[in-house]
Structure 1
């Protein structure tokens, strides 16, 4: 009974069931096990894939950190180099069994495709952006850095960087990315990108600074990105602020407190250079007038301008304006209210001290001086301008005029003032340059013979009088301040010797008491054999401002230069921006077919970017010896500006024993002191190329001059009257300058005795050209000139000062400085060591004066704001030279913020650098001359082929048909010479040397059955017929 009861119990039944199924797997547990196994397999696969992916991500990060490219040119399996990404992955698989197995077995995802590479890069980028966004959200303030330049593919890329300081005072700088702006590089397009970036990153309320490069599109005050940024109340700084924090951090223990309290609290007072200005006074330019008098090869300019202080307080302001390097500024007057101030030339230190003392006393005062970094930039200060008062200024200057390739006498009045690359931030604040409500200029031109023509880039009205010996020039339309003012005057008999006598002032002392003769001659030196033993160095500026048409024009010019070099010479090419690059790194090479081909590859790959570091390039050249002791001829072509002009000039001067320098300045705003100073110190010639000039023609002119042997032992004597009485004089310069055949030469003769009866003068110029003696005689009627401006006397003093400055490194610095001060004060000139100062002796009653912690600095004309300071130091690219002693940090409590609306508009628009600005410098289209230059062989001949036929626009069949049974090369060369002479005669100076090489080759070919002259005649007739047809 008990057993039966047990058998029916649940426990027994369960045990029987368990016994029956013992050894069999339950379905439910079996399903769970399979699922778990599948999950485990999946997880293992994910782990392996993630492990492989981690390796691929590490490869991407490694290549990114090392700044290495991912892709290869040929990535097929048989390639020896499949690109850094693939090769690095395969290298890992060599030592990693897991990666090796993956590459051997994977059929869908190997991780090697270009798409996967891009996906990985994008994914990493998104992670980085998310982390950056978190940091920016926590940061107290942010700045944005923007730079636009061309990459190796000539595409314009805009790079953007955000810079910020975290809560723990760690500075971080994050690269956002590139943006292709090739389609539109205007300031508007760039500003849209910048503002979109600010909006995307939600940092507008924290943004305290924008930094750009010094190009006009970026830095221009009126139309540049700088100007656009002001609409967002953001400070503009040139890209030199990057190291400011480092400098300050090294100076201060508690940097974070200082940085937070100063750079944030006072940032509304930080202007163009980061220097503090507590006032937003508006000083407007009401009108400006230029009255110009051109007499032969000299000019006199009278500048009158009227400003108004529109504030309710006395204020102090500064202005800058450019001048020609040869100009002598001799007058500076101001009328401030009823006070008339007449400035006098004094020792610059004395003048500065007197000005400061007067301003501190509350007196009105004026100061005019050269900036210490450049002799072609002047600065004037107006102290204690009464509230709501007008200021009338008058500045007078005289200049020598240069002569152009086509014989034109050029008057140049600078209006564009470009930034000087590499300058230390100023210790004064440069405001936008004021624009006049009215502007006008009028010019009178006088010549002792007829004036053939007067041209200008600006529309003008020309009226002739006195049988065309006198002309007046006036504006025909509103003046366009995008360019400098240029007048080209074409005189009849311009090359005729001219001697002008200007009487001295009996009441003056020194040179001003003497009669002075100005000599203008075009010496025609005897033809001597030109030595081929020249080492030609072509130095090309490829800085960012040369981008577009200018670098293309320079490349075309280099091509013409290379093809025009004579056989037997040597050559090299240097290109420079922030750094420099030699074509032949070991030194110049002999001019041969192989070296020419290498140079042509170098020429094709030139592109513009970066800054303008001329000094380092020329220093590197100076340590390389000329090829086989040849005479070195250097050609420098630049549009840039540098702060260390004097250092460059002194370096050039140290090389004159075996080197001659020829320089070309491109565009409005090029430093006349730099370009002319290098040529003067280097015993060469200088040229300037404006928008309508022919760059290639001017370069070829200089190349032709460089082939002239050195002129030495030059002496000048002068006689006058029927008895040929010797004139006793001192020439200025005392050591006569380098003379070039048929090039204008200006000399001054300071006479020991007054001349009253002199009517004509006989001059003799003698010396040696190479090893050949020469003696040239000139005779000219003496032209008298009496004017209160004492133009010739002042130009003579200016030339003497230039000569003295060039010799300052000869161990007589103090003596030379003293002589320059004596000359400057005697002639009432501004110079390196003399300044104008004018004081109001009336001391006013005590009253509140609104003074600037750092006076606002305006431009009388146009100034690209950055770089025009008074103190310059050499620096690395992007480095700021900051001395804490130069910066005043003052309490900002109660100070008004700087309101951009109160800033005066720019008198001039910034320097144009886009492609339309230099269309006339050299066509980027392969015109016929450029094509012919490229097709000429090293020896001087051309091949008769399809390329030549296309260049000549004549079918190859027709060219061959007229061949008079001579070799194709000879016939082709004759045809090209005919085209040059008949179709391109107006460009003779550009192809003259190229044609000479071709003629020499033709004459060496022993042409039968006709000689070269008859062959050229036949070729010319053929070309003429084609031209008519």
Structure 2
């Protein structure tokens, strides 16, 4: 795979040396404001025309973008795209220096900015600021990612008159390792709840807490860091699942009644499901696994240091998923590259026979299917009729360099990762180079097995004279432990110390349920219009989707016009607008009202997702693991003891008492057989030992084996073992564990 460079390029596609990157991150609860300054220098003997290319994190909205060359600085404003292009052309033809910033035609998570003529020996300082929501990870951490590389973006087959290609838009490949430059990054964190810890995939200086409650802290990237990988920060708060609400005052200079003139409320909700409902995990479903086998999957997960190959990580994860599926469900596995294949003609019932067949196929999978053409297999999947009473769940494994995909590794496109997650009613997980894929994918499986939530509605209760205009699209899916963000515009007279209330109602396991959050309507003044900008971005995305869906019809035209209006008013860019800045030659910065700071909506990051077809249609889709051996070939099982043990589990959830099992447990077969209680069958004894070993030695990886262990315990109880307590005691003695009876469901 080629790492497509990001940064400043000449008209001849040559990189302009990047001297330094300085980044400041201000995190307030679950939202981050990022300021980045990038310094370039023209070391040539003649002026160069340069283009700035850069990726941003998922769902970011730029609130400032400027370029300074010599003593001249220009700050961009947002215009309707065609008007911006015309203004840019007029400026160039009249000899003025102009800057045009717009989304790449190939991918909305890449933007380019022409910075005009850069004189010899001159430097160019490019500054951008953006706000972004922090994604919630499987372990409840909030993730901030600063992308370092920009991988090729996929162009669907036929759009260029030929086959599917990989394109970097206006730039070419500039490996980060060939352009040495420094990165400084500092972050300040403020939260209403104590900050438990801050972690990173890069070296950090010690966290400095600024108060005794540990609600405010600062942290810095260790000096000397080379920006050769994505920089990831993981923030952990105590009581992370408590709902929060922020009411943000509008811009004083804006017209009351407008989006930027009125207050905006930003709600963060975490639905709480009853233990009874959560205990009824579904036993049905059609599970479809789509794995990328293009050449780019034969690359390491990360760009710095040794890491697992992407294809091997995906195969390893498929092993855990297959072992965790419930008996009676249906499944199938698709592979794609330049073409696509599937293991079974149609989805089949999950059994020992079909599981063994699938594992044999997975074992031989290689990243040898050339290109990356995912649209055709998705079309095929959604043309298939759904199986009655088997909700379809789709898992896509890819490095993200394709349309309509979800991925693995660093630098991949995720303009569509979060989009497809929202359209499909699923859940996105983000994966960095050092991460194990398995825990995050198994978290998605947990979501897929949760009882279906239906009839979701959101209602507002506010004082008389106050109204709420939703800025977010309707909530289409809810999962236990998953955050839902809601934005609303508050219109009306001043309300002093009054309160509002939002209620989320839904039906779960046949029972009507609701969660409420009361919040103060008193606006917070000093928030930097973060909620307004994120709310505007949410509204623009909804309007763009409506415009595409309706096309040239009246409603589509109105949605397009409204999206452009909101984009210009708020300064949040869209696919319908662009940034334009013209230096009139006065030597002074040309810019608009300070309050009209430009924005730019982009998406970027890597991830894995499952899609629930209860709410995902074919039209929506078109819009937007180490090698191991199957149970019948145990002699070449994976070297990792846990994966070796997992690979030996039968579809029913049980294990057989054989030499490979004893090896995985670190014992000889004779030791295992001689310790078996007389009244226990070999299969029961083997299964008890396997579950005991997992609980005794692999609790740190519990999220990976939890479901297959639950299946094993269910099988044991189905066997009506009369002496399970005695069996567990013998297992603890043999393995040197102290596993409690509760682990066996007793």
Looking at structure 1, the residues matched to 13 and 165 of structure 2 have their Cα atoms a distance apart, in angstroms, of 25
CA distance in 2, matches of 1:783, 1:445: 23
Cα drift, residue 406 of structure 1: 1.4
The equivalent residue for 1:580 is 340
Alignment of 1:493-512 (within 5 A): 493-509=239-255, 510-512=258-260
CA distance in 1: counterparts of 2:451 and 2:493, whole angstroms: 38
Query: After the TM superposition, which residues 71-220 of structure 1 pair with which residues of structure 2 at under 5 Å, given as runs?
Result: 215-216=1-2
> After the TM superposition, which residues 986-997 of structure 1 pair with which residues of structure 2 at under 5 Å, given as runs?
986-997=700-711
User: Which residue is 1:854 aligned to?
Assistant: none
> For 2:492, what is the secondary structure of its paired residue?
coil
Residue in structure 1 matching 2:408, options 666, 671, 676: 666
8 Å CA contact retained: 1:522, 1:744: yes
1:702 aligns with 2:444: yes
Residue equivalent to 2:31: 298
Cα 1:379/1:403, change in 2 over 3 Å: same
The alignment of Structure 1 onto Structure 2 pairs a total of residues equal to 659
Paired residue secondary structure (2:54): strand
SS class of match (1:999): helix
Distance across 2 between alignment mates of 1:469 and 1:831: 35
Using the alignment, how far apart are the partners of 1:701 and 1:281 within structure 2? 43
Q: Distance in 1 between matches of 2:326 and 2:465?
A: 44
Question: 2:543, 2:559 within 8 Å by CA — same for their partners in 1?
Answer: yes
More helix by share: 1
SS, match of residue 809 in structure 1: helix
1:481 match: 227
Shift of 1:683: 0.8
Q: Equivalent residue of 1:672, what SS?
A: coil
- Map 1:798-947; keep pairs closer than 5 Å: 798-807=537-546, 808-811=548-551, 812-842=555-585, 926-947=639-660
Tell me the TM-score normalized by structure 2: 0.82
Matched with 2:186 is: 442
* 8 A Cα contact 2:152 2:401, kept in partner: yes
Taking the aligned partners of 1:1014 and 1:990, their CA distance within structure 2 comes to 27
Q: Distance in 1 between matches of 2:406 and 2:152?
A: 18
Task: Tell me the equivalent position of 1:345.
Answer: 78
Does 2:712 correspond to 1:968? no
Residue aligning to 1:464: 209
CA contact 1:281–1:311 (8 Å) conserved in 2: no
Kindly state the Cα deviation for residue 955 of structure 1 after the two structures are TM-superposed: 2.9
Q: Is the 8 A contact 1:718 1:726 kept in 2?
A: no
CA distance 1:728–1:285, change in 2 (3 Å): same
User: Does 1:407 find its partner at 2:149?
Assistant: no
CA contact (8 A) 1:664 1:689 kept: no
Contact 1:365–1:384, Cα closer than 8 Å, also in 2? no
Evaluate the alpha carbon distance shift between residue 471 and residue 337 of structure 1 in structure 2; reply closer, same or farther with a 3 A threshold.
same
Change (3 A) 1:591 1:431: closer
Cα distance in 2 for partners of 1:496, 1:1018 equals: 43
The CA deviation at 1:502 is 0.9
**Distance across 2 between alignment mates of 1:973 and 1:525:** 32
Residues 6-34 of structure 1, C-alpha deviations (whole Å, 9 max, x = no match): xxxxxxxxxxxxxxxxxxxxxxxxxxxxx
Structure 1 residue 624, shift from structure 2 partner: 1.8
Find out whether 1:742 has 2:481 as its counterpart.
yes
Secondary structure (helix, strand or coil) at the match of 2:130 reads strand
- Separation (CA, whole Å) in 1 of partners of 2:518 and 2:669: 56
Contact kept, 8 Å, 2:696 with 2:738, in 1: the verdict is no
Q: Is the 8 A contact 1:497 1:780 kept in 2?
A: no
Deviation track 1:96-145 (CA, whole Å, cap 9, x = no partner) reads: xxxxxxxxxxxxxxxxxxxxxxxxxxxxxxxxxxxxxxxxxxxxxxxxxx
Structure 1 unaligned blocks of 5 or more: 1-214, 223-271, 649-662, 845-861, 863-913, 916-923
Measure how far apart 1:833 and its partner are: 1.1
Asked whether the 8 Å contact 1:716–1:763 carries over to 2, the reply is yes
Give 1:325 shift: 2.8
TM-aligned CA distance change 1:961 to 1:372, over 3 Å: same
Structure 2's unaligned 5+ residue stretches are 155-163, 300-308, 588-603, 605-625, 628-636, 740-746
Contact 2:497-2:520 within 8 A present in 1 as well:
no
Separation in structure 1 between the aligned mates of residue 668 and residue 376 of structure 2, nearest angstrom: 50
Greater shift in the superposed pair: 471-480 or 403-412: 471-480
Deviation at 1:816, TM superposition (A): 2.3
Residues 431, 979 of structure 1: CA spacing in aligned structure 2 closer, same or farther, 3 A cutoff? closer
Match of 2:421 in 1: 679
Report how far residue 399 of structure 1 moved: 0.1
1:412 to partner: Cα distance? 0.9
CA distance in 2, matches of 1:743, 1:426: 33
The structure-2 alpha-carbon separation of the partners of 1:427 and 1:472, relative to structure 1 and needing over 3 Å to count, comes to closer
Q: Hey, what's the Cα distance between the residues in 2 that align with 1:827 and 1:753?
A: 20
Structure 1 contact 501–515 (Cα < 8 Å) conserved:
yes
- Alpha-carbon distance in 2 for matches of 1:705, 1:316: 50
Structure index of larger Rg? 1
2:158 aligned partner: none
Describe the shift of the 1:571–1:772 C-alpha distance in structure 2 as closer, same or farther (beyond 3 A): same
After superposition, what is the alpha-carbon deviation per residue over 1:662-698, rounded to whole angstroms, capped at 9, x for unaligned? x752111121212222111111011121122221111
Matched, 1:792 2:534: no
Q: d(CA) in 1 for partners of 2:737 and 2:267?
A: 49
Mapped to 2, the partners of 1:312 and 1:1025 lie a distance apart of 72
**How far is the alpha carbon of 1:580 from its aligned partner?**
0.7
User: 1:939, CA displacement in angstroms?
Assistant: 1.1
Give 1:515 deviation, angstroms: 1.2
Query: Structure 2 vs 1, CA of residues 411 and 542 (structure 1 numbering), >3 Å: closer, same or farther?
Result: same
In structure 1, what is the Cα distance between the partners aligned to 2:121 and 2:662? 72
Find the aligned partners of 1:376 and 1:437 in 2 and give their Cα distance: 23
2:497 and 2:734 map into 1 onto residues whose CA distance is 59
Partner secondary structure for residue 352 of structure 1: helix
Greater Cα shift, 537-546 or 758-767:
758-767
**Cα deviation 1:444-481 (Å, max 9, x = unaligned):** 11111221111111111122211222221212132233
Q: Distance between the aligned counterparts of 1:933 and 1:433, measured in 2?
A: 39
2:313 to 539, 553, 556: 553
- Quote the Cα distance in structure 2 between the aligned partners of 1:780 and 1:425: 47
Alpha carbons 1:330, 1:827 under 8 Å: kept: no
CA contact (8 A) 2:473 2:538 kept: no
Residues 447 and 416 (structure 1), Cα distance of their counterparts in 2 relative to 1, 3 Å cut: same
Partner of 1:383: 116
CA contact (8 A) 1:300 1:399 kept: yes
Alpha-carbon shift at residue 984 of structure 1 (Å): 1.1
Contact conserved, 1:316 with 1:383, CA < 8 A, in 2? Answer: yes
d(CA) in 2 for partners of 1:221, 1:371: 14
- The equivalent residue for 1:777 is 516
Write the distance in 1 (CA, Å) between the matches of 2:367 and 2:451: 34
**Aligned-residue offset at 1:623:** 1.7
How many Å apart are 1:755 and its aligned residue?
Answer: 5.7
The match for 1:712 among 446, 454, 467 is 454
Report the Cα offset of residue 315 of structure 1: 3.9
Residue in structure 2 matched with residue 178 of structure 1 by the alignment: none
CA 1:707–1:591: 2 relative to 1, 3 Å: same
Once the two structures are TM-superposed, the CA of residue 1006 in structure 1 deviates from its matched residue by: 1.7
Q: Secondary structure at the match of 1:673?
A: coil
CA deviation profile, 1:53-90 (whole Å, cap 9, x unmatched): xxxxxxxxxxxxxxxxxxxxxxxxxxxxxxxxxxxxxx
Q: CA deviation at 1:387?
A: 4.5
Counterpart Cα distance in 2 of 1:819 and 1:795 = 17
Equivalent pair of 1:363/1:383 in contact (CA under 8 Å): no
